[in-house]
Every structure is written in structure tokens, then in C-alpha cells.
Structure 1
Amino acid sequence: MTYDENEARTDRMMDKLQDLGLSFDPKTNSVTAAEGVDVNNLPNSIALNGAADGQGRWYGMEEFESEIVECDDLVARTGSNPKKPFQESYDARKKLEQMRVEIETKRCLAMVEGGKGEEGKKLIKVAQAQVGRLEYRLGKIALDCEEGSVKCLEHIVHGCFSNMFGSEAFSRVADMGEGDQKGKGGKKLSELIGYSEGEGEGAGCSAPVEEKVEALNTAAIAYANKEKLDLSLELLEVAELLYTNVGSEKRGGPRLESLHTSTLFFFAQVYGLVQNPRMSCLYCARTTHRQLTQSVKMEGGELNVDETSLDVEDWVKNVMTLAKYYHNNGENRQAEHCLAACGAICGLFTNAAKGFGAEGGKGAFEGMTARSMEAVSGKVEREKGEVYLGVLNSCSEAMLYKQAGVERGGGAGEAGKGGALVVDYGEVLGGLSSERSFMEFAGGELEKKVEEFVSANDDKGLYELGKSVFLAANGCIDRATKFFELDGFVTDHIELCLLKANAYKILSLFESEEKRKQAMNLKRVQCIEGLMDKGINETAYAGLIKTLVHEIGSGYMDMFDLKSERVEGKTKRNPTYVIKRAEAAKLNELCLQAVYWFSYFLKLYVPTDSMPKDFELMKGEVDDEAADAVLAKIYFVDVDETLGYLAAHFKIARLLSKVMQDFAGEDLGKENVIKALKRSLSRFDFIIRCVAAMDKKGEYGDCIKGFQQQLEICEQMKELLPQKIDRVFHLNAQFLGAA
């Protein structure tokens, strides 16, 4: 084209632009639009600027596809050079930007020249769709190269959406993205975007549905990162509708199926951010079910896994999170089903990993060893144990209400609620061969146990049902403990031992015979007492040691109370009954063991040398043989632990008030009883002074309110104990105590 021809064409274009309400300044190389002009249906400024001095070009369908495949391959190789981790993406972006300028320039010239008939209009429409597909890739590159949500959305929304989904959809997204009130009313995005099968197809005008879904997913992530969560959910809703409305014969492609799984996963994340746990849980369940369906198959007796679709450890972690949610919500059938699926997967992959060396397997099994799968299995068994233990606890509560003749909403029935499964992992796992059949322990057995429990009336039946749930919990805890050994897994091992102790504690509630109750409580203590001889660092594991020591003390106290009730029962039935020396000695042994461990608990709150003057009243020298007269100072106890701290003092005081005369020694044990009663009195007095000082400080309102009942008993015992001490001294009487 000659200079004169080019100048004439430029003049014609200027006139056309002016007719469209646009003005072009060649000096600044910029385009501006007059007020009221809808720029969404016009070429962007990049193309108009290029159109002033360039010709641009059309891309045929095959050539365009070939070029973008080349760009996609470049992006896929990103990261191959550690020194320039994003170089391939940058090269792809440069090529995509050049294609966009060429297409937009040609499109601009065609628009200002009138489109040259139907063929020209069709080419313009094809170019618009092509630009949308280019912008979608540029947006993905911006996000992958960690250039932030703003740059990503600049391409995805302003470039891709305006060309791929139309001006109305673009306007709504842009308005909502900027927080404009115009975006909050009117039609939803799903009503503005065509998602029916076949819509927009023909002549290469429409982007593939995979690209539309991924563009929507990418925009949803970017807007979620900007805390535009309502918009993010609308975008994901459209992505889901696009997939749903694709004909079934067109589904099944690995890319579209993978993208839809991503849509469901993003739904779960965003619903979590908007504090809607039920919907987050639903989409998480659907996501994990699809991952399983798409990834795991048995072919020729061998496990076949799609290495691109399933991260085993991540999958198990997500399904265990689901199980926790269901369990906390009382939907234990759902929880049991999820954990059974985790167990089945762990069994399959553990078997597969046995043949791997220290370096692990390859593909989907990369880095996976038999040991790493044992760790995952251990976590699953622990979660299963906690679910069974939760059900056991719910059943015990329901039993206590039933025995008291009190109506209770929910109860054990609530613990087993759940109805139809949200997703059925058995559709996949039921057909897989494994050491332990999935359906064997995922068929709602727990729910059946709970239903039987609700209908049971006799004590023996209740105990047998409780025992069956206990055995399930205990088995899971034992299997988890085999992996989480104390050497290397201190926290996990202690927590598992505490779980086992708690299982025995709850089981004892189902037992009506005192001796068997005692045996269960003894087992409870034995589960954890031995840990205190293992040299666990009390500073590094302070919180766990406190829990451990307190639980040991509680176990001995419960055994003491059970035996005391038995002796008191004999005395009530026969007022002339004389307590045997062996009985008194055993009671004192249990009592002083409990005192020792609660004193140990208090000793863990180590005071320092300095203490503010206004806490002088909190000094209380407590006579304690085991703790060697430790100075107790509430000031050094965290506010949220103060109630437990005071309660431990109260338990010690109460136990000491119940020490019995055992008829040993020259004075027949009278001196030991008096000494214990004096220590008890001192402790009750100390508690009263502590609470008074706390009340004066004004920071412990909730604690004092929660301790009110015990405080009243302390004040009563302060009045009664001197009289009791006097009676023991003068009358040589034996007492079980009044507190």
C-alpha cells in the first residue's frame, strides 16, 4: 500500500471512529470514548492504537488452534529452568500478546470499514471469540506467575469475559468486582451467560467449554483472594451449570472432568470462607467422591491409579476432615462411612507400597513408602477411635438420663443420626479387593448399635452394647498407638493413651457391679500412669503433662469414691458394722494416691521469685508432704486455667477430709487422721483467701462464678472441720468425712 493510500485509509478510519463516538490522538497514540458510548462492544484501545498504522491479520481455525497449542505446551514446561522459573510462561505470553494485537487490529479495521458483508461479520465474530481465548490464557499466566489477582482479572474479566460471555455478563462481573451497587441487583450471572448445549457454536465462534469453565474457575479464585466472595460463588455456579448442561456424550474428557472437580473443590473453599460449613462439607464430599471415582480402579487384580488425579495423603486428610465435621454434628453414620473409606484406601495403598524401596514409588506413588502409608493409616485409626469414643460417650449420657427417668431430646439416637449418605464411596471401594472389605465396616454398623442401644432396657443389654462400641474404639486406638510410638511421637502417643483411658472411664459407667467398675478404673489409670516414668520433658510438654497428671489423680479419686460408697452402704445397712482394717488401709491408699497426683498437678504451675504486692493475699503456704510445702500463687496461673487450678486444691482438701483411722501403730492411726484433717482445713482456708484476692483483682469473674458451689462447701468445711478434729482427738472415732 502506498503512502497516499495508507493516509486515505487512516482518514476514513478516523471518520468511522468519530461516527462510533471515539476519537484517536496520533500524537499520544490513545483512544477516548464520548460520554454514553458502550465501549464493551468495541475493540479495545490496544487494537485501535495498532490499527492506526498496522494491517493485522485473521487466523484460520486450524492455524489458531496450532498456535495456542504451542503456547500451552510452553506454559506446561514452565519451571524446567530453576534459574528462570517462569521463562517459558513469559515466552508464551509474548506470543499470545502478539497474536492478540494482530487479531484486534484486523478486527478493528474490519469494524470501522463496515464488515464487508456477512462473511466479514462472521470473521469479526470469530476474531472476538479468539481474543477471548487469548485473554483467558494471559490471565492464567498472570496468576501462575504470582503477579497477583489484579493483573489476572484485567485479562480474565476485561479481556476474556467481554469477548467470551458478552457485554451484560462482563458488566455485572466488573460492577460486583469493584463493589458497585449496580452489580447487587438485577439478574444473576447465571441468567446472563448462555450455558445451554450448542449455544454459540458454529464457525469457530465459541470457546471450548473447558476453557469457559477454567476461565470462570480462575476468576473465582482471583475474586476470592480479593474477598469478593459473593461474586466468586456466582462465577462457580455458572461453571457448574456449564458442565451440567454439556451433553453426556461430550462429558468424560479428562480435562473437563478434572476442571469440574476443581469447581467443586473451590466451592468447598469459598463456602468455608463465608462461614457456611454445611455447604462447604457437601462440596468437599462431592469433590473427594469424584477424585476417587476418576482415579482408583482395579484392573487385572492390580491397583491402577491415575497419577494426575489423586494425592492419596491429601485425599485422606480431606475425608478425615469431613468425618470430624459429621462427628461433631452428631452424624456418626456419615463419619463412620468417611473413615471406613479412608481405611480402605490406606489398606490398598499400603499393600501397593510394600514393594517400594526407601525412595518410594513413582507416578501416583512418588515418595510413598510403606512407612509413610502406615503414618496415614495411624491417623485414620485415631480418628475412627475418636468417633467411636464420641458415640460411646453419647450412649452413656443417654443411659444416665434413662436411669434417672428423664426425657432427653436427641440422646443416643442423635449420636447416630444421618439418614442417607451424602456421597457413597462404596460405589467405588465396594468393588475393590483389599485385606479388609470396605463394605464390611462401612455398612452403618455403628448406627445399628446406637438404634439397638436406644431400644434396650436391661442393664446387661446396655453394658453389652456399650462394650461392643468400646471394643471398636479400643481396637482403633491400639492400632494407631502401634505407629505413634512414644519415641518420635510424644504428643500423639500421650493423646492416644489419654483416649484409651477415657474409653475405660466411659465404659465403667455402663457397669453396675462395683468390683468391675473398680477394675475398669484401674485399667484407666494403668493406661497412663506408666508414662510418668518415661522421662518426658515437663517443660516442653507442660500442657500434656498437666492433663496426664490430672487424669491419673481423677482415676484414683473415682476409685476412692466407689470404695467409699461401698463402705458407706454397709454402714447404712448395718449401723453396728465395723470397717475392717484392710478396707480402711485400701481407702487411705487410694485417697493419698489421688492427693499425690493432684499435688503434682499443682506443682507444675511453677512460681517465680517476684510477685506484685497486690497479690500478697494469694500467698498460701500449703502443708503438703509430696510437694514439700509449695507456695501457691494464683498470679502465675493463666486466667483460663484458674478454675482447674482451684478445683485441684478443692479436690485435695476434700480427699484429706476423708482419710480414715486404720488402727495401725500405737495410737491406732488417730494421729494420721488428725494431721490429714488439719491439712484439709488449711487447704479450704487457702482456697477462700485465694478467691477473695481474685475477687478484689476483678479479672476472674467467670472463674469465681463457676466455682461458687465449691466455695460454699469450703466455707462450710472451714466451720465443720475443727469440730471433727476435736471429736477424733477426744473420742477416738473413725470417720469417712462429711465433704
Structure 2
Amino acid sequence: MANSLQLACDAYQRAVTASDIESKTDPETEPYRSKYRARELLREVRALLGPGAEEESGEGQAGSQEDDGDEGRLLAARLAVIEFRLGVNHTETEEMSAGEEHLVKGVRLLERYRLSHDCVSTYIQAQNNLGILWADRGEIIIAQTYLESAESLYCQYMKMIGKPPLDPDEHFTPEEQRLTEQERAKRFERIYTHTLYYLAQVYKHLKQDERAAQYCHTTLQRQLEYDGYNPVEWAINAATLSQYYLGKQCYMEARHCLAAANVIFAKAGQIPSSGAVKENEAEQERLDGLRQKKAEIARCWVKYCLNLLADARKKLEDNIGELDVDLQEELKAERKKQEDEKEKGWKKAVLFGLSDVYDSILAVEEKVDWSLPLDFKEAREIFLVGQNYINEAKEYFQLDGHVTDHIEVIQDHSALFKVLAFFEEDYERRCKMHKRRVDMLEPLCKELNPQYYLLVCRQLQFEMADTYYEMMDLKVAIGNKLDEMDSHIIKKINSLAQSAIKYYEMFLDSLRSPDKKFPEKLEDDVLRPALVAKFHIARLYGKLITADGKKQLENIQISLTYYKFLVDYCANYEEAIKSVETELELSKEMVALLPARMERLRIQLSSFS
């Protein structure tokens, strides 16, 4: 028996080596060659475990061991390890049904012994793998059952026993080569960390976002604590978690995740610029992947800065979208007290406070605030951080090769300028910020082919129109402060209005059929933008300044036509009303007022003729 066990141990070690090491160099023509060899060796081990071992591992046979004591438990444990390894082997070679069968056998063998220190680790790993297998099949509820069972068993074992359990491989390892208690503990904790990681994915699939975030959190913390992680993967997961916190407006937590992502990602090593890489193709691919991940983390930082500024704007704007100065002073007075209270709560819930990288994370955090900015100075500091990350993201996401991503980065840059402009009190400087937006967006509008990028072109056209519209409004406000508008500012107002009209018309033209006909009924996704574009064009024609009475009459007539389109459309399709309630109310007023204004202008013109 001792000799058989020795042979079994030798065969098991060869199987592990073939599966975990030699398989990495298998040829493309035989990708599973080493896996298949490992499978045969594992079957050989099962046969060496003694007469009847094959049957003992079968369904319903474990019950015969009920009174076998330690010997029966050890045989069941060894057989379960083989079944577990065979289950993993089959799933790795894409034989899912066979893999499931072996994993289930392993679980059944250990059901009665699952709380013993030499069985619990194998049992939990088998359940983890069954959870993954069922999740891959899209059966998330079944996956959840297996993984929650594994979680429950870990908690029960730690509460009742607590002793670091035997690692599955130790059943086939000589006594003198077995792990230390410390190493056993570390491996067992890593297995449980995997359980939590998979549960986080399951809860995400089930739309239980808060629970998923909590489990992701705990997983990241444990990975740092037990040094069981890939730095790049960890950093991406932390950055992704930050976006959940952004959605909940938990900026302190989001910043902490992003700062941690930066620090841990740096452990992957220095990344050379794209032009400096002259290594082999595989190394180029690896470094390109690292640059992409770094750019993705940068984009998460951009979203952090953008959301922080946008939420501050929502809080501070009055009913016409301008800065509410009284509210601003009130919020400044309240903020100190709120910060003190939040800081106390934060110290009780630090995400990664147990790790040795915490000081480095704090150093990154200090570069950007987490509280809502309340004036231009504070907003600009956040803007500059966001702009630095924009530049970092653009290094990888260039227009040549990453069209959609590049455009999204540019749109985020534009959005940063837009929200910063809200905090700027000087209209001229605010106008210059919007001009920066035009300068970055207009080249994209001209370069992209609508045939291939129709939706993106529409987005850019509408944003360009809105930007020119905003600039025109600012120039009108500047002109109204003067005793009399000079020809230069009149020309500027008209030019900006015409540019806004041009881009709104481009957007509306993109909705036309191939025979240039505008749709009778608008699709839901373009309903509001199209009607708002019509409304803004109507208003813009009304803003054009001219000394020519006939031209003025012509502009008012065009303005009336566009207002009337919106009113008539909502009369024909009442479901559209809720999308443009404010614009519709104003349009109805203008449809009632403009004919009388046009009539007065005609009378004036006829009296001069």
C-alpha cells in the first residue's frame, strides 16, 4: 500500500507539472497535448489508490465510508482531489459536461467531511469551479448557489476550527515537503478571495450593484493583504470600481480606488513610449496592452474630474443655469463641518488601509480633492488634473486606429471646458473656453465620414451647434452691457449664430432619407435632439441683427416656420410633448406673437417705400 501511494504521488506530481507548466509550450497544432497527458496520469493515480477506488469515487458510493474513520476520510479526500483535478482538466480542454461530472463527484465524496482540515480546501475549490462553469453557461442562479455555499463553508470553518487546512496537492506530497502553517493559511485565504471575486461577478450579472461593489472591494483588499494578484488586472478592477462609486456620488471612495489603481499599476514596471519599442512582436504586444490599460485608467480619472465638476454645477446653478452666488456662500460655510464629519466616517472604512502601499495611495490622493468645487479656483484645480489625464489617454487612443475612443476622449475634454466655463464670471474668458471646444471638435466634424460614423457625426454636429449657440448668447450678453453695440460685436454675434444654425442644419439633414426627405415621424432616440435643434434654429434667426428691414422680415418668417414645425409636430404626435414641454410652451407663444410683429414691420417698410 505504501509503495502504491508513493507511485500515486509521483504520477500526481507529473500530472501537475504537465498541466501547469508543460502545457504552456504545447504546439498550436496540439494545444491540449500536455493536458491530455495529465489526464491519463490522474486516472493512473486514481487506479493506484487501491482496489475499488474507481467505484468509490462514483455517485452514491461515499456513503459506504460513514464509519471508516480517518482512513476512510483520507481515501475520500485523495479521491476528491483527483476528481477535482480531472474536473478542471476537462473544463480547460472545453469538455464542460465531463468537467462538471468530475467536480460534482469530488463534492459528493467530501460532503460529510467538508469541515475537516484535510478536506475543506478541496471542497471549496470544487464549488468555486462549479460556480464558474455554470456562470459560463449563463446559468447565474446555479452559479450563485455554488459560490454562496463555498462562502458559507469558509465562514463556518474559520469560526468552528480556524486551523489553516491542508492544501489539495499536499495529499500527494511527502511529509517533509509539506507546506508551513503560514503558507497553508495564505493559500486558503487566496481560495476564499477567488470565491468572493466570482461572487462579485455573479452579483453584477444579477444587477445587484451595491452587493457586487462590496464584494469587489473586499476582493481587492484581500488580494493586497495576501499578495495574490496581477498588478495590471488589480488596477483595472480598482479603476472600474471607482466608476460605481462615481454613480453613487461617493467621490472620496472613487478617488481612493483610482489612486490605488495608479500605485498598483506602477508595479507592472516602466512602460516605454510606442516609438521606443523595438523588441520582438510578443513583447510589443505586451507593452501595447500595458499602454492601453494605463490609458483606460486615465479615462476613469477623467470621468472622476468631469463628474465632480458637473455635480458641483448642478448644485450651484439657479433656475436659468447661472451660478447662484448666495447658495455658493451658504455651501462654503457648511462645507467645513461636512468634511469633518465625513473624514471621521472615512477613517472607519478605508478601502486598502491594511496594505503596505497605503502611504503611496495617500500621496496620489492629495493631488486632487474629493469635495465639490464651489468657485472657479477650486474648479480649475480639478479641471487641470482631468486635462492631464486627457493628454495621457490621448497618447494611446489616437485617431488613427482608435477612432471611437479618441472621439470620446476629445468629447470629455470639451465637456471639461464646458463645465469649467460655468464657474467663470467673466463672459469674455468664458467665451474663449467655448472657443477651445470648437477648436478641438470642428476638425473631427470635417474629418469623419458620416457613412461609417453616422451616430458619432450627429453627436459632434449637435455639440458644435450648442457650443456656437452658447458663445452667441455670451456675445449678446456682452453687447447688452454696452451703451451701443458696435459693428464688430454685431458681426461676431451674427457669425456665431450662423455657425450654430449651420451645424444644427447638418444634424437635421443627417436624419433625412436618401431622397432628402425629412421624416414625418422621428425615432425616439433623435426625437428630443431634432425638436430642440428646430427650436434653437428658430431662436437664432430671431437673434440675427440686420439694418435691412426686408432681411429682418425674412429672418422672422424663417423663425416662425421653425417654431410652427415644433408646435405642429407635437399636435400630431402628442407623445412627443413630454420631451420638449418648455420649448413647446415658448414656441406656442412665438407662433402667436410673430405674425403681429411681422405685420408691424411690413407696415413700417411700406411707409418708407
Give the shorter-chain TM-score range: 0.7 to 0.9
Q: Is residue 532 of structure 2 the alignment partner of residue 647 of structure 1?
A: yes
The equivalent residue for 2:150 is 236
Structure 1 segment 18-29 matched on structure 2, within 5 A: none
Contact 2:193/2:222 (<8 A) preserved: yes
The equivalent residue for 2:41 is 92
Distance (whole Å) between structure 1 residues aligned to residue 121 and residue 190 of structure 2: 10
Distance (whole Å) between structure 1 residues aligned to residue 48 and residue 216 of structure 2: 39
Contact 1:78/1:88 (<8 A) preserved: no
Contact 1:323/1:334 (<8 A) preserved: yes
Contact 1:392/1:466 (<8 A) preserved: yes
Distance (whole Å) between structure 2 residues aligned to residue 353 and residue 239 of structure 1: 46
The equivalent residue for 2:181 is 250
Instruction: State the secondary structure of the residue aligned to 1:632.
Output: coil
1:69 Cα shift?
Answer: 2.9
1:475 Cα shift?
Answer: 1.9
Q: Is residue 602 of structure 2 the alignment partner of residue 717 of structure 1?
A: no
Residues 127 and 583 (structure 1), Cα distance of their counterparts in 2 relative to 1, 3 Å cut: closer
Partner residue of 1:221 out of 109, 124, 132: 132
Q: Is residue 388 of structure 2 the alignment partner of residue 467 of structure 1?
A: no
Residues 532 and 219 (structure 1), Cα distance of their counterparts in 2 relative to 1, 3 Å cut: closer
The equivalent residue for 2:168 is none
Q: Is residue 535 of structure 2 the alignment partner of residue 638 of structure 1?
A: no
1:507 Cα shift?
Answer: 1.2
Partner residue of 1:446 out of 320, 344, 369: 369
1:550 Cα shift?
Answer: 1.0
Distance (whole Å) between structure 2 residues aligned to residue 268 and residue 422 of structure 1: 19
Distance (whole Å) between structure 2 residues aligned to residue 89 and residue 229 of structure 1: 27
Partner residue of 1:691 out of 545, 562, 570: 570
Using the aligned pairs only, state the percent identity: 21
1:673 Cα shift?
Answer: 1.5
Distance (whole Å) between structure 2 residues aligned to residue 591 and residue 730 of structure 1: 27
Instruction: State the secondary structure of the residue aligned to 1:358.
Output: coil
The equivalent residue for 1:599 is 505
Residues 473 and 671 (structure 1), Cα distance of their counterparts in 2 relative to 1, 3 Å cut: same
Q: Residue type of the partner of 2:449?
A: N
Contact 1:74/1:89 (<8 A) preserved: yes
Residues 243 and 463 (structure 1), Cα distance of their counterparts in 2 relative to 1, 3 Å cut: same
1:135 Cα shift?
Answer: 2.8
1:292 Cα shift?
Answer: 4.6
Contact 1:426/1:438 (<8 A) preserved: no
Structure 1 segment 611-626 matched on structure 2, within 5 A: none
The aligned length equals 557
Structure 1 segment 160-179 matched on structure 2, within 5 A: 160-166=106-112
The equivalent residue for 2:103 is 156
Distance (whole Å) between structure 1 residues aligned to residue 289 and residue 147 of structure 2: 37
Contact 1:320/1:338 (<8 A) preserved: yes
Instruction: State the secondary structure of the residue aligned to 2:270.
Output: helix
The equivalent residue for 2:403 is 490
Distance (whole Å) between structure 2 residues aligned to residue 105 and residue 383 of structure 1: 53
Partner residue of 1:583 out of 464, 489, 496: 489
The equivalent residue for 1:51 is none
1:496 Cα shift?
Answer: 1.7
Q: Is residue 423 of structure 2 the alignment partner of residue 510 of structure 1?
A: yes
The equivalent residue for 2:236 is 317
Structure 2: stretches of 5+ with no match in the other structure: 166-179, 319-323
Deviates more, 1:578-587 or 1:593-602: 578-587
1:692 Cα shift?
Answer: 3.3
Moved over 6 A (4+): 57-60, 105-108, 411-414
1:231 Cα shift?
Answer: 1.8
Residues 130 and 581 (structure 1), Cα distance of their counterparts in 2 relative to 1, 3 Å cut: closer
The equivalent residue for 1:388 is 305
Structure 1 segment 312-711 matched on structure 2, within 5 A: 312-349=231-268, 351=270, 357-359=278-280, 367-369=285-287, 371-400=288-317, 403=325, 405=327, 419-420=346-347, 421-424=349-352, 427-429=355-357, 438-443=361-366, 445-447=368-370, 449-450=371-372, 453=373, 462-533=375-446, 535-568=447-480, 578-609=484-515, 631-635=517-521, 637-661=522-546, 668-695=547-574, 701=575, 703-711=576-584
The CA deviation string for residues 660-711 of structure 1, in whole angstroms up to 9 with x for no partner, is 22xxxxxx4223222211111122223333333434xxxxx2x322223322
1:104 Cα shift?
Answer: 3.7
Structure 1 segment 263-282 matched on structure 2, within 5 A: 263-282=195-214
1:87 Cα shift?
Answer: 2.1
Contact 2:295/2:393 (<8 A) preserved: yes
Distance (whole Å) between structure 2 residues aligned to residue 723 and residue 500 of structure 1: 45
Higher relative helix content:
2
Partner residue of 1:72 out of 12, 16, 23: 16
Distance (whole Å) between structure 1 residues aligned to residue 123 and residue 261 of structure 2: 34
Residues 357 and 257 (structure 1), Cα distance of their counterparts in 2 relative to 1, 3 Å cut: farther
The equivalent residue for 2:171 is none
1:390 Cα shift?
Answer: 0.6
Q: Residue type of the partner of 1:340?
A: A
Distance (whole Å) between structure 2 residues aligned to residue 156 and residue 105 of structure 1: 15
Contact 2:197/2:215 (<8 A) preserved: yes
Distance (whole Å) between structure 2 residues aligned to residue 107 and residue 470 of structure 1: 67
Distance (whole Å) between structure 2 residues aligned to residue 344 and residue 674 of structure 1: 64
1:312 Cα shift?
Answer: 4.6
Residues 490 and 252 (structure 1), Cα distance of their counterparts in 2 relative to 1, 3 Å cut: same
The CA deviation string for residues 580-624 of structure 1, in whole angstroms up to 9 with x for no partner, is 333332222222121111111111213134xxxxxxxxxxxxxxx
1:538 Cα shift?
Answer: 1.4
The equivalent residue for 2:169 is none
Q: Is residue 145 of structure 2 the alignment partner of residue 260 of structure 1?
A: no
The CA deviation string for residues 212-236 of structure 1, in whole angstroms up to 9 with x for no partner, is 3322322333454443144223323
Instruction: State the secondary structure of the residue aligned to 2:30.
Output: coil
Q: Greater RCO between the two (CA within 8 Å, min separation 6)?
A: 2
1:59 Cα shift?
Answer: 7.7
Residues 106 and 276 (structure 1), Cα distance of their counterparts in 2 relative to 1, 3 Å cut: closer
Distance (whole Å) between structure 2 residues aligned to residue 279 and residue 444 of structure 1: 30
Distance (whole Å) between structure 2 residues aligned to residue 518 and residue 125 of structure 1: 78
Contact 1:350/1:374 (<8 A) preserved: no
Distance (whole Å) between structure 1 residues aligned to residue 476 and residue 127 of structure 2: 70
Q: Residue type of the partner of 2:40?
A: D
Instruction: State the secondary structure of the residue aligned to 1:252.
Output: helix
Residues 598 and 62 (structure 1), Cα distance of their counterparts in 2 relative to 1, 3 Å cut: same
Residues 353 and 594 (structure 1), Cα distance of their counterparts in 2 relative to 1, 3 Å cut: closer
Contact 1:93/1:138 (<8 A) preserved: yes
Q: Is residue 4 of structure 2 the alignment partner of residue 83 of structure 1?
A: no
1:329 Cα shift?
Answer: 1.3
Residues 514 and 470 (structure 1), Cα distance of their counterparts in 2 relative to 1, 3 Å cut: same
Q: Which one has the largest radius of gyration?
A: 1
Instruction: State the secondary structure of the residue aligned to 1:440.
Output: helix
Residues 497 and 691 (structure 1), Cα distance of their counterparts in 2 relative to 1, 3 Å cut: same
| TM-score for the superposition, normalised by structure 2 | 0.80
| TM-score for the superposition, normalised by structure 1 | 0.67
Cα RMSD between the aligned structures? 3.7
Residues 382 and 426 (structure 1), Cα distance of their counterparts in 2 relative to 1, 3 Å cut: farther
